Amino acid sequence: MAAARRARTGGGGGAGPRLGREAEPEAAVPQGLLRLARRSGQLNLAGRGLSHVPEHVWRINLEAPEGAQQSLSFGAADRWWEQTDLSKLILASNKLQSLSQDVQLLPALTVLDVHDNQLTSLPSALGQLENLQKLDVSHNQLRSLPEELLQLPQLRSLQLQHNQLSQLPQGLGQLLSLEELDVSNNQLTAIPSSFALLVNLVRLNLACNQLRELPADLSAMKSLRQLDCTKNYLETVPAKLANMASLEQLYLRKNKLRALPEFPCCKLLKELHAGENQIEMLNAENLKQLSSLCVLELRDNKIKAVPEEITVLQKLERLDLANNDIRVLCAGIVPLHCPPQILLSDLGSVFFFFYLKKGTQELLKYLRSKIQDDVPGPGEDPPVTAMTLPSQSKVNIHAITTLKLLEYSDKQAAEIPGAVFDAVGSNPVATVNFSRNQLREIPPRLVELKDSVCDVSLGFNKISSISSELCLLQKLTHLDLRNNVLTALPEEMEALKRLHTINLAFNRFKVFPSVLYHLPALETILLSNNQVGSIDPLQLKGLDKLGTLDLQNNDLLQVPPELGNCENLRSLLLEGNPFRTPRAAVLAKGTAAVLEYLRSRIPC
């Protein structure tokens, strides 16, 4: 088909050479790159400093390559008339201020990527690209979109984020094949009602706009799994949105919500992020409906109480209630098994869990039963009563028995007193917090908790090496060793097969700890503010559960392109390293853009 079209255009009709046009002022695209593009159907011109696209790129499928008339070679690589039409064109990270109408000369395009340029408008000829499936014009200066854009019947992904759009075309709902739409970081004040027609849309990103309301018609998007409305001006969410039966992730952070929306039909909802709002109360009935919820993020609100009904969320893995006004917390929030990640920092309240629910008389009876008449002798610690603050007691017995928490933090202690471990007795301990002391080694008696402990915090100490005791905690899932003086990790840590989060920030690592490559459950590696000089992307790819990798402020001189193949990464942080590429502008676009950039740099 391509050969036939070229034969028809070989004579000098409308598609022939344009006479009278001046030669390109800047260097043409290398002929070797064009030859590869004719064979593969893909042309990557990203990051070449182009201020315009050379004409022979638009006409790559219409004209014979340079030198073809003189060439007498007819090897397989030289039969240009039989080669592939261009289907993928990447022009990202250049200096383009406009696109030529000649883009219509590439009707076979399925992918057009022009992100990170200086475009202020798009050509109407885009509407002629009937095969186009992905269009990325993000990180430009677009103020409007051409109506012809709505004529793309096969468009599945449309990336419009980080532009200057104040409105979207009313007919956007005509893009019936659309599965992914990102209009975040624009200036939108309203969403067209025609969005309701996008019944195949799976991901919709409306974050960082100026939306004050959402159209109730969004509920017609029966395929939508991810909806991001972060950082707008929403005060309510339409009740109809509760009918979005396929919704799995909902982001409502940084709005003006006063109540958590109801979701009676969202049986598949796994993540609900509603932090930094003005929510004061959690409706018990609403919580009962969220049976599939794994992540509930409500930090930085004005919540005063957490109802007991939250305990019915049996699949909950992460509950973030930090920075609220909570005074009442149900006792059942800490389950019998290894608890989920529960963030309650800065609550500023003392919880009497079980007793507050029984009323004043039972509470008074309990407090009286705890009063001790003993007067401490010289050198003795004061008696521990129900009114003793945790900071005033050597061991918080209540925390051990009720929260399964062994805490001896912020004491500036050179070692953990034996009495702390003695107080555990036969009680199972899930969480250990020995942070902010002067420890120089792992407490040897930590191994006594190996049958139950799954979260250990030893940050902000002076630990220089990891002893074998820590490697015996085979139920460990979270390990915090930040702000120590570590330079290496022992290979014996390979035994920690359940470890999925490790924090090694602010240590003295010069080499990426090789043992981390052999911990298959790892989901989060925090290694910022060290001196790491290199990483092995092939071994990192083997960590198929790894979602977060923080390597900020290290000594990476280069980022291997193969790191782009680690497609499971949701958060890759590389700022503050001395490498030259990817550039800061690429890093600022987020993980997905960085990974795509790295993949584009992998040698063919």
What structural domains and CATH numbers belong to the chain? 257-347 (3.80.10.10), 397-600 (3.80.10.10)
What is d(CA 504, CA 519) in angstroms, rounded to the nearest whole number? 15
Q: Assign 245 a pLDDT band (cuts: 50, 70, 90).
A: confident
- 42 bridge partner residues: 88
Q: What is the mean pLDDT of residues 166-170?
A: 93
> Among 43-57, 232-246, 338-352, 464-478, where is mean pLDDT lowest?
338-352
Please, are residues 443 and 416 in contact by the beta-carbon 8 Å criterion? yes
- What phi and psi, each to the nearest 5 degrees, are found at residue 408? -145, 70
Q: What is the pLDDT of residue 161?
A: 95
Residue 336 has a pLDDT of: 31
524-526 and 501-503 as β-strands: parallel, antiparallel, unpaired? parallel
Q: Which residue has the higher pLDDT, 444 or 338?
A: 444
Is pLDDT of 356 > 50? no
CB neighbourhood size of 425 (10 A): 9
Residue 38 pLDDT exceeds 70: yes
For residue 323 the two structure tokens come to 């920075």
Say how far residue 87 (Cα) sits from the centre of its chain.
30
Which of 290-294, 430-434, 460-464, 548-552 has the weakest average pLDDT? 290-294
Q: In what order do the strands lie in the sheet with 548-550?
A: 405-407, 431-433, 455-457, 478-480, 501-503, 524-526, 548-550, 571-573
pTM score: 0.56
Query: pLDDT by residue (tens digit) across 384-424?
Result: 443 333 334 467 777 788 788 898 988 889 999 998 999 88
How high is the pLDDT of residue 385? 41
